[in-house]
Structure 1
Amino acid sequence: MKVKINSWRGVATWRWIANDDNCGICRMAFDASCPDCKVPGDDCPLVWGKCSHCFHIHCIMKWLNSQQTSLLCPMCRQEWKFKG
């Protein structure tokens, strides 16, 4: 018996590997996008601080730009430094 495949559709999923499920600033899931983006993925990457907290890049940049004095992590209030 031979089987002929007429069509085939591949399905794939992806997930960010983060220490939490949601952004601490916008509260959107990391698997989704931040409120500024329409499509999750490479255009809405995650960034980590040395304090190990993780945020959408657009969310943390808005947060840092809104700070008048020192640049602090919105979760733990430690000085914000990007993990490198």
Structure 2
Amino acid sequence: FCATESESFFVPAFPVQAVDTVAAGDAFNGALAVALTKGLSWRQAVVWGSAAGALAATQVGAQTSLPDLETFQRFLENNSSLPNLN
């Protein structure tokens, strides 16, 4: 859930097989910050954060679980049809 001065919305979690949630929040925050820095909307930034956090949860460890850009982009492309992501 995200609320700004002008809107509030819910972005569902991406369905993944989680094996370790260490660093999922760090991945979320990092992707959110990058998206906002790039000028994306809050909604899209939360989607980016959710995607990065979901990907991080699919790997064991902290730094080793953080997705690279190619993996991240492919994950977003493969899941772009999920509801409430646009």
Same fold (TM over 0.5): no
Q: Select the structure of larger CA radius of gyration.
A: 1
Q: 1 or 2, which has the higher helix percentage?
A: 2
TM-score (norm 2): 0.29
Higher relative contact order, structure no. (Cα contacts within 8 Å, ≥ 6 residues apart): 2
